[in-house]
């Protein structure tokens, strides 16, 4: 079979590193290149003593429906009548000349599916749309590589690889940290295709696989598509995918976010105001009111799966190291402040107090009121500048405000969403931000709109947050 592959796909196709990953826009030929690479590796496996080149490949996708409707369809299109499927156990065989290959199609959408990977004896694996899979999936298939064919029958496995493809993903995704930072292992390779659409929404003439697509394949997708879809799927930008209904559609990263190096440092003459929330992904934000009365968020601290005591110690160390000369107070969850932990009698208030974080609790008794108060402040401007300014170093908070913190869509017909925001890696940092804003009196101001009328703020002429 003669295949014409685009330049980046061709480089990926020829790479025999342990793990190779290609990232590109939808329609760029990633899947074709991956299956073609499997085909090459099948034919390059050394034959057994009987002269047959045996291989066995795990083909993994996140859900059964996507595996059946998308991945398997691509295999059928590539191999044609030479591949024979057994739908009962989701396997397929390919036999041609001296090549005998098995494909084990596996989805990971049910409890226990991940454990099934650990029972496989395979030559290699193909992880289709890897952004939807966990790091554990990659680790598990690597642990099963090279187990087939067996050395007793010949030279054993001589082609042992993991190949993977993906669309773009957020820059805090495990793939980004593993493949796109200095931590990338030497035996991992990354291939990044050019975007299909440029920043001005014109077609990129350097995009790959254009000759195999309708002439308006990409440009017609722009009509009616959200900016988020275009940025991720067509422009290959590594940002968060927006799912559900954002809690704060009023937030605009282009308006409310400022480069950290451009911000004036917090004034030592004014106290810092912080917000904290504890959970699986605990969050802590550090801000201050500027002379105009606006809120400036300078810093954030986030954690993953550490307990309240450990997180409080991390915060205390951070404050001593980076803000040693500042007085500060921390506004925390008024509903959880005095709840005892499951394994200890210590409350969040007591733990924060013990670690010199100066906890405070407002008397706001409605989460909805807090949310509305934040919304109002995002929509307000003072002297032409937003009432809330956030440093660009607060990446997790910004991702949350930009749609990661959202109301989950209810699985019924129509546009219906849950009444409360979904709990995820962005909810706790956003809750901490809400407590900070609430601690500054925003909820009281919302409920008593006349409270601040007639209050004059004096500032130097020409003063600017930047």
The DSSP code sequence of 417-451 is EEEEEPPSTTHHHHHHHHHHHHHTTHHHHHH-TTT
- % of residues, the chain, pLDDT over 90: 73
**Residue 397 or 110, more confident:** 397
Evaluated on CA atoms 170, 172, 178, 184, the torsion sign reads positive
Q: How far apart are the C-alpha atoms of 223 and 220, rounded to whole Å?
A: 6
Asked if 273 and 288 count as a contact pair (C-beta separation under 8 A), the reply is yes
Could you tell me which residues come within 8 angstroms of residue 23 by beta carbon, excluding any fewer than 6 positions away?
30, 165, 166, 167, 168, 190, 191, 192, 193, 236
> pLDDT-derived band of residue 384, with 50, 70 and 90 as boundaries?
confident
Q: How far apart are the C-alpha atoms of 407 and 144, rounded to whole Å?
A: 39
Q: What angle do CA 287, 288, 289 make, to 5 degrees?
A: 140
Considering the chain, what is the average pLDDT of its residues? 90
Average pLDDT in the 294-300 region? 95
DSSP state at residue 71: I
Instruction: Determine the pLDDT at residue 448.
Output: 74
Domains of the chain: 7-234 (3.40.50.300), 253-447 (3.30.420.240)
pLDDT above 60: residue 173? yes
> pLDDT-derived band of residue 414, with 50, 70 and 90 as boundaries?
low
Print burial letters for 128-159: b (CB count within 10 Å at least 16), e (below 16): bbbbbbeeebbebbeebbbebbeeeebebbbb
Instruction: Determine the pLDDT at residue 1.
Output: 59
The least confident of 5-19, 336-350, 358-372 is 336-350
Instruction: Determine the pLDDT at residue 2.
Output: 67
Q: Among 451, 449, 292, which Cα is nearest to 384's?
A: 292
The least confident of 106-120, 191-205, 412-426 is 412-426
How crowded is residue 243: how many other Cβ atoms within 10 Å of its Cβ?
14
Largest CA distance in the chain: 93
Asked if 289 and 295 count as a contact pair (C-beta separation under 8 A), the reply is yes
How crowded is residue 123: how many other Cβ atoms within 10 Å of its Cβ?
26
Q: How far apart are the C-alpha atoms of 60 and 282, rounded to whole Å?
A: 32
Q: How far apart are the C-alpha atoms of 369 and 124, rounded to whole Å?
A: 54
The least confident of 120-124, 260-264, 346-350 is 346-350
Q: How far apart are the C-alpha atoms of 90 and 103, rounded to whole Å?
A: 9
Average pLDDT in the 164-177 region? 93
Could you tell me which residues come within 8 angstroms of residue 82 by beta carbon, excluding any fewer than 6 positions away?
94, 95, 96
What's the predicted TM-score (pTM) here?
0.72
Q: How far apart are the C-alpha atoms of 52 and 97, rounded to whole Å?
A: 9
Instruction: Determine the pLDDT at residue 21.
Output: 98
Average pLDDT in the 233-243 region? 88
Could you tell me which residues come within 8 angstroms of residue 361 by beta carbon, excluding any fewer than 6 positions away?
331, 332, 334, 337, 349
Question: In the numeric block, which tokens belong to residue 147?
Answer: 């187990």
Instruction: Determine the pLDDT at residue 111.
Output: 75
Place of tokens 């909820």: 443
β-sheet bridge partners, residue 111: none
pLDDT above 50: residue 455? no
DSSP H helices in 210-328: 219-222, 227-229, 253-256, 308-322
Strand order in 417-421's β-sheet? 245-246, 406-409, 417-421
Can you give the length of the chain in residues?
466
**What are the DSSP calls for 142-153, one per residue?**
HHHTT--S-GGG
Strand (E) positions, 73-144? 83-86, 91-96, 99-107, 124-127
pLDDT above 90: residue 90? yes
The least confident of 92-96, 284-288, 296-300, 398-402 is 398-402
Instruction: Determine the pLDDT at residue 318.
Output: 97
User: Phi then psi for 112, rounded to 5 degrees?
Assistant: 95, -15
Q: How far apart are the C-alpha atoms of 120 and 243, rounded to whole Å?
A: 34
């Amino acid at each position: 079979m003669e295949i014409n592959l685009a330049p980046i796909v061709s480089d990926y196709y020829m790479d025999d590193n342990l793990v190779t990953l290609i990232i590109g826009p939808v329609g760029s030929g990633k899947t074709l290149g991956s299956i073609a690479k499997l085909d090459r590796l099948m034919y390059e496996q050394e034959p057994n003593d009987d002269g047959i080149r045996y291989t066995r490949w795990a083909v993994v996708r996140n859900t059964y429906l996507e595996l059946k409707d998308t991945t398997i369809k691509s295999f059928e299109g590539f191999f044609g009548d030479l591949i024979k499927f057994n739908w009962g156990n989701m396997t397929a065989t390919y036999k041609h000349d001296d090549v005998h290959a098995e494909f084990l199609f596996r989805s990971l959408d049910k409890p226990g599916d991940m454990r099934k990977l650990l029972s496989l004896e395979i030559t290699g694996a193909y992880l289709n749309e890897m952004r939807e899979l966990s790091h554990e999936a990659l680790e598990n298939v690597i642990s099963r590589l090279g187990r087939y064919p067996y050395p007793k029958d010949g030279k054993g496995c001589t082609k042992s690889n993991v190949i993977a493809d993906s669309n773009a993903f957020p820059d805090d995704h495990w793939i980004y940290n593993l493949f796109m930072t200095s931590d990338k292992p030497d035996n991992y390779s990354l291939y990044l295709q050019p975007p299909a659409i440029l920043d001005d929404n014109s077609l990129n003439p350097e995009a790959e696989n254009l000759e195999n697509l309708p002439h308006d394949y990409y440009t017609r997708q722009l009509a009616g598509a959200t900016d988020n879809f275009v940025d991720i799927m067509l422009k290959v930008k590594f940002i968060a995918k927006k799912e559900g209904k954002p809690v704060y559609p009023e937030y605009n990263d282009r308006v409310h976010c400022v480069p950290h190096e451009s911000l004036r440092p917090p004034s030592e003459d004014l106290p810092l105001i912080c917000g904290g929330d504890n959970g699986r992904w605990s969050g802590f934000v550090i801000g201050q009111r500027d002379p105009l009365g606006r809120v400036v968020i300078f810093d954030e601290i986030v954690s993953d799966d550490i307990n309240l005591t450990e997180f409080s110690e991390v915060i205390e160390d951070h404050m001593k190291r980076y803000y040693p000369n500042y007085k500060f107070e921390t506004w925390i969850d008024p509903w959880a402040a005095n709840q005892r932990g499951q394994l200890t009698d210590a409350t969040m208030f007591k733990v924060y107090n013990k670690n010199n974080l100066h906890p405070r609790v407002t008397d706001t008794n409605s989460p909805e009121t807090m949310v509305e108060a934040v919304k109002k402040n995002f929509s307000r401007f003072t002297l032409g500048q937003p009432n809330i300014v956030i440093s660009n170093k607060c990446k997790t908070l910004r991702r949350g405000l930009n749609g990661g913190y959202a109301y989950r869509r209810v699985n019924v017909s129509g546009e219906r969403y849950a009444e409360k925001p979904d709990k995820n890696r962005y909810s706790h940092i956003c809750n901490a931000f809400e407590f900070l804003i609430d601690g500054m009196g925003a909820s009281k101001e919302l409920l008593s709109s006349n409270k601040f009328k007639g209050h004059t703020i004096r500032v130097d002429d020409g003063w600017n947050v930047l």
